[in-house]
Amino acid sequence: MKKATLLIACVCSVLGASAQTFSDNFESYTVNTPLLGMQSPNWRTWSSATGGGTEDVPVVTTDNHTTAGSKSIYFSSTSATGGPDDVILPFGTSPLTTGQFTFTSWFKIPSGKTAYFNFQGNATMGNLYVLDCWMDNSGGITIQNSGTTVMTSTYPVGSWFELKIDVNLNTNTWTLLVDGVSAGSWSNASNQVYAIDYYPADASAKFWVDDVSYNVVPYTLPAVNGANNLISVTNGLVGQQRNVSVKMRNLGTTAITSFDMTLVHNGGTPVVQNVTGVNIASLATYVVNFSAPVTLAAGTNTFTATISNVNGTSPDGDSSDDMITQSLTPVQPAAGKVVVAEEGTGTWCQWCPRGAVYMDMMQEKYDDYYAGIAVHNGDPMVVSAYDAAIGGLIAGYPSALVDRGAEIDPSGIEGDFLNRIVVAPEGTIVNGATYNTSTRVLNVSVTTTLMTNISGNYKLAAVITEDSVTGTTSAYNQSNAYAGGASGPMGGFESMPNPVPAAQMNYNHVARVLSPSFAGMPYAFGSSATSGQVFTYNFSYTLPASWDPNQIHIIGMMIDPSGTINNAGKATIAEAVANGYVSGGTVGITTLASAPDDIMLMPNPANTLTNISMTLENDSELNIEVFSSNGKLVASKYYGKMSGAYNFPIDTQEFAKGVYFVKVSVNGQPKVLKLIKE
């Protein structure tokens, strides 16, 4: 199985009732050569129907679990993207969708190494990932379904252990057991299973596998039987509202034409939905959507769904599958907290659709608690200073920073978000605004009310983002490694071409301007300030005609002395106008337009001196500022009004070696140039 990152979800499918009990301890195979698949009709590789080739895995005698035996199979990789070992064990000839399915495999994972497997949902590898099982280098087990963690546990590092997954496909109850001890159960988004795929997923993957087995107990359908299969409710934060749906399944031989579905949240008043006028065939499913959302409460939220009165019959032919329960525990956010995620991306980047999918998911799921900023690189949506600053903090694309913490893959944004949303902020931020639809001038006030006493270099920055950004040139085409589906599902990009034409792309969360710099305005709150003090900074922007004011978000950020974003405030223009504009604050950077294109910085890199050359055709106000890479203003000069061709010297001999940003503002219109001091 070819996987680029941990973010791709794997799916489990279930084979037909004719599947046979199977076990393999590898003792009958020849060691090393020929390889596993070439010796067994039961195993195959990811890309071929029979064994052999670079994806096959050797039978070894270096370690084993079988009593009185000596052999096992051994997986290892030295590639950051995993492989080439990649072997499949089908559980029959077709997906299992009913009955009881039990899978067992023994593993040994050396200290500091990792292991991985996934369940596939049907015979086309990569088409349906049901389950990912990640075993990390410190004894942790994480099971994911469609990118969401559904179960965690531990394993004994450096020792053989039994991992078992027991599945009641009728009730969609999946249970993980480690050395015979249950770690818990969950309901799977894809309630079927076809095969297991063993794959060393990264450079640290090394593990042995022995004593693999599975067992299927078929289910005989009664005449009339409605079974509850899955409660779908998205977890979130305490106080958020969530819609609930229940998937039922006809596990009888007779079509279902009517039934009642009852939902109870936290033992409250039952909500009954009567379903009539349907014709649900045997083994088909039907989703009941409850119209009234529920409000997530603090602590464990328990949802219970019960199906009854199936075709007017009560009880139906199997009452054991009528009721299903699901629990979730939402996170309690800190008062006034908004978390920022900055994503490095680009239209040229083939894996960056992953970032777009996860950024959109976070916005949909967490709304006003989350502020996403897509910082583009090497495409028409780039903001040079922002791109340069993010580029210095990440190793590749796509990557993300949550509140400017450690670099992560965009698939990990939610985990870091949940860690940050509970941290009480030191100040709350409210964005106000006025907007003139004729002149397109947007005046912004970013007001911070301190909640604690602070001291040190706390900074403030403002960002303007835009959603639904489109373009007509090929530079707006999105490179797409997920085309064709071989790399798994990715929010619909698997069904789109490579590249995705500009006409089919809408880019969200696009960073449009950063004020005054990535590091922010130094000492925005003085060298110290006390709880309850209020600070306002004003910014003014003239929105270009191509920007849609209805898609704009204003994001104000409070940055602590370490560079971490302590808190943020987010608002649309309409919301900011409703909040009210606070005038009289300190004036920040005041425009979006670009300065003249002929501005040049030479020499660059510089040792003791560099020059800014430009031509000012008309009387223009000129201001030049130099910032260090952490946003500190190290030099500035206001030249007043002037015209003509000039070279403006910058003395760099006292600058420390490193990266600097030179901002040239002509009539308030900035252009930022990157300077290297040798």
- Tens digit of each residue's pLDDT (9 = 90 or more) over 79-125: 888 889 999 999 999 999 999 999 999 999 999 999 999 999 999 99
Q: Can you say how many angstroms the Cα of residue 21 is from the centroid of all Cα atoms in its chain?
A: 38
Q: Residue 596 is which amino acid?
A: P
Q: Is residue 566 part of a domain?
A: yes
pLDDT at site 7 = 31
| Within-domain flag for 4 | no
**CATH number, residue 235:** 2.60.40.10
Does pLDDT of 5 surpass 80? no
Domain boundary among 155, 189, 217: 217
Q: Cβ distance 556 to 516 under 8 Å?
A: no
Q: Is residue 285 part of a domain?
A: yes
Q: How many domains does the chain have?
A: 5
What are φ and ψ of residue 239, in 5° steps?
95, -20
Residues 212 and 273 reside in one and the same domain = no
Contacts of 597 (CB under 8 A, 6+ apart): none
Contact 516, 589 (CB under 8 A): yes
Answer yes or no: are the C-beta atoms of 557 and 461 closer than 8 Å: yes
pLDDT for the residue numbered 665: 79
Same domain, 339 and 324: no
Do residues 432 and 394 share a domain?
Answer: no
Contacts of 419 (CB under 8 A, 6+ apart): none
Among 152, 187, 217, the domain-final residue is 217
Q: Is 355 left (phi over 0), alpha (psi -120 to 50) or beta?
A: alpha
Q: Which CATH number covers residue 360?
A: 3.40.30.10
Q: What is the chain's mean pLDDT, rounded?
A: 90
Query: Does residue 197 register a pLDDT over 60?
Result: yes
In the listed set 593, 620, 638, which residue is the last one of a domain according to the structure? 593
Kindly report the pTM of this predicted structure. 0.69
Angle at alpha carbon of residue 645, lines to 640 and 648, rounded to 5°: 60
d(CA 78, CA 190): 32
587-614 per-position pLDDT tens digit:
443 333 334 556 788 888 888 899 898 8
Q: What integer pLDDT is reported at residue 597 of this predicted model?
A: 53
Q: Which residues contact 389 (CB under 8 A, 6 or more apart)?
A: 517, 518, 519, 629
pLDDT at 257 over 90: yes
354 and 323, same structural domain? no
Cα 649 versus chain centre, distance: 46
Query: Can you list the pairs that 26-31 forms with residues at least 24 positions away whose Cβ atoms lie under 8 Å?
Result: 26/59, 26/64, 26/66, 26/69, 26/71, 26/72, 26/73, 26/210, 27/66, 27/69, 27/70, 27/71, 29/59, 29/71, 30/59, 31/58, 31/59, 31/60, 31/61, 31/71
pLDDT band at 668 (very low <50, low <70, confident <90, very high): low
Instruction: Give 522-580 pLDDT, tens digit per residue.
Output: 888 888 999 999 999 888 899 999 999 999 999 999 999 999 999 999 999 999 999 99
Mean pLDDT of 416-437: 96
The answer to whether the beta carbons of residues 589 and 636 sit under 8 Å apart is: no
433 and 567 belong to one structural domain: yes
Give yes or no for residue 630 having a pLDDT over 70: no
Q: Angle 413-420/353-366 helices, nearest 10 degrees?
A: 40
Residues 40 and 112 in one domain: yes
Q: Which residues contact 177 (CB under 8 A, 6 or more apart)?
A: 162, 163, 164, 165, 166, 183
Same-domain pairing of 169 and 267: no
Within-domain flag for 65: yes
What is the reported pLDDT for 614? 84
CA distance 480 to 502: 12
Query: Higher confidence at residue 470 or residue 487?
Result: 470
If asked whether residues 287 and 391 sit together in one domain, one would say: no
Structure tokens at 523: 């000492």
Please tell me the distance from the alpha carbon of residue 106 to that of residue 207, in angstroms, as a whole number.
Answer: 10
**What is the per-residue pLDDT for 501?**
97
pLDDT score for 66: 81
In single-letter form, the type of residue at position 659 comes to: V
Q: Does 576 lie in the same domain as 541?
A: yes
Same domain, 433 and 413: no
Residue 158 CA to residue 224 CA, distance in Å, equals 50
Residue ranges making up the domain that contains 180: 14-217
For residue 109, what is the domain's CATH number? 2.60.120.560
Segments of 29-120 assigned E as strands: 44-45, 59-60, 72-76, 87-90, 95-96, 100-108, 115-120
Three-class DSSP category at 310: strand
308 and 377 housed in the same domain: no
Determine what percent of the chain is predicted with pLDDT higher than 90: 72
Instruction: Give the pLDDT band (50/70/90) at residue 670.
Output: low
Same domain for 24 and 140? yes
9: pLDDT strictly greater than 60: no
> What is the predicted pLDDT for the residue at 638?
87
User: SS3 for 23?
Assistant: strand
Residue 570 lies inside a defined structural domain of this protein: yes
Tell me what the mean pLDDT of segment 220-224 comes to: 95
Residue 6 lies in a domain: no
Residue 34 maps to a domain: yes
Q: Among 18-32, 211-225, 345-359, 381-395, whose mean pLDDT is lowest?
A: 18-32
Residue 464 inside a domain? The answer is: no
* pLDDT surpasses 50 at 242: yes
